[in-house]
Amino acid sequence: MTSSEASTQRIPPFVSLGSARAFAAPAVARDYSGNHTASVARGAGMANVSRETSVVASRNVLDSIDDSSPIARELAHENKRRERLLGRNLPKPEKTRIFTVSNQKGGVGKTTTTVNIAAALAAAGLNVLVIDIDPQGNASTALGIEHHADVDSIYDVLINDMPLKDVVAPCPDIGNLICAPATIHLAGAEIELVSLVAREQRLRRAIEVYSKERAANGEERLDYIFIDCPPSLGLLTVNAFCAANEVLIPIQCEYYALEGLSQLLKNIEMIQKHLNADLVVSTILLTMYDGRTNLAAQVAAEVREHFPQQVLGAVVPRSVRISEAPSYQQTVMTYDPSSSGALSYLEAAAEIAER
């Protein structure tokens, strides 16, 4: 399935996101590679059946399922979650909210969380900027933004004082979403930043200038800025902390993530004391949750006990669809909006917007 084919399956979040019942029929067959094939309903010669009839039929199918079965209970639960999001309008913040998405432990879902929450908010009509300061450039890949060595990137903003407006590019799949890409040149930026004046504040100043330029040009104010950090606590991450006023910490539901969290919080305290007194840890999101294990439940309970105000109610489960989406240069919002992973990120985005 090509990127363009997959994007045509997008269902705008918060606007026309169907319920679990609506997704039950017509059934769609898939081959083992995950590609969509012809609709079973079309193959059976039911192309002329109205949408209303299909929805009624799907409701009858689900209503006839014994709700004592685990699958039926899961469907009913997802159905209620979708209905709570259906048609919801997310409020615009009073001023631009700048999030640094950080955790020095790798593989906890920083980039995945950044791009999917950004995509969910943008699909709801909010203006969102993603700044990729991870030399791997995975956020740029997921948003379909070119980030090869010849592309002007956030490296040029930090090191060569290039204006941020000359770097940002629109996401091809989602309106209102723009991205400042990262290139491999960022791998050497840590060393190059050491000798520069105001090395910790360079990203912050670039964002301030860009915001003023948008206002001067009559463009809409940015509602959210998400900065995707590398899995380290070097100067790139320090720049992100100095530029932001909120920290979003994705935590994998495993023991090692708890160890990394304590170290991260100590570093954030140092930033607050010496570089950015306005920085707060406002949001913690539990990711890669596996409800079949006691360990995941124990980690989630411990994090909620210590950070009751910061932890979101939404929990992101382990999901193959979330992992597949970047290979098509998409977020899960456009790749498979009916998946459990997309639903969880929609809920997380709604919680963040309404806080």
The per-residue pLDDT for 16 is 39
Q: What does each of the 355 residues of the chain score in pLDDT, given as a tens digit?
A: 544 444 444 444 454 343 333 333 333 333 433 343 333 333 334 334 443 444 444 444 445 545 667 777 777 767 777 777 777 788 999 999 999 999 988 889 999 999 999 999 999 999 999 999 999 999 999 999 999 989 999 999 999 999 999 999 999 999 899 999 999 999 999 899 999 988 999 999 999 999 999 999 999 999 999 999 998 888 999 999 999 999 999 999 888 877 878 888 999 999 999 999 999 999 999 999 988 889 999 989 999 999 999 999 999 999 999 999 999 999 999 999 989 999 999 999 999 999 8
Tell me the C-alpha distance between 270 and 21, whole Å: 50
* Length reported for the chain: 355
The per-residue pLDDT for 75 is 74
End-to-end Cα separation, the chain, in angstroms: 38
Lookup: tokens for 292 = 């079949």
- CB-count burial class (<10 Å; 0-12, 13-18, 19+) for 135: buried
Q: Is 72 helix (H, G, I), strand (E, B) or coil?
A: helix
Structural contact between residues 198 and 165, judged by C-beta atoms closer than 8 angstroms = no
DSSP secondary structure of 9-61: T---TTTS---TTTTTSS-EEE-TT--EEEEHHHHTT-TTS-HHHHHHHHHHH
Structural contact between residues 256 and 105, judged by C-beta atoms closer than 8 angstroms = yes
Tell me the C-alpha distance between 172 and 111, whole Å: 18
Q: Are strands 246-252 and 280-289 parallel, antiparallel or unpaired?
A: parallel
- The secondary structure of residue 231, as a DSSP letter, is S
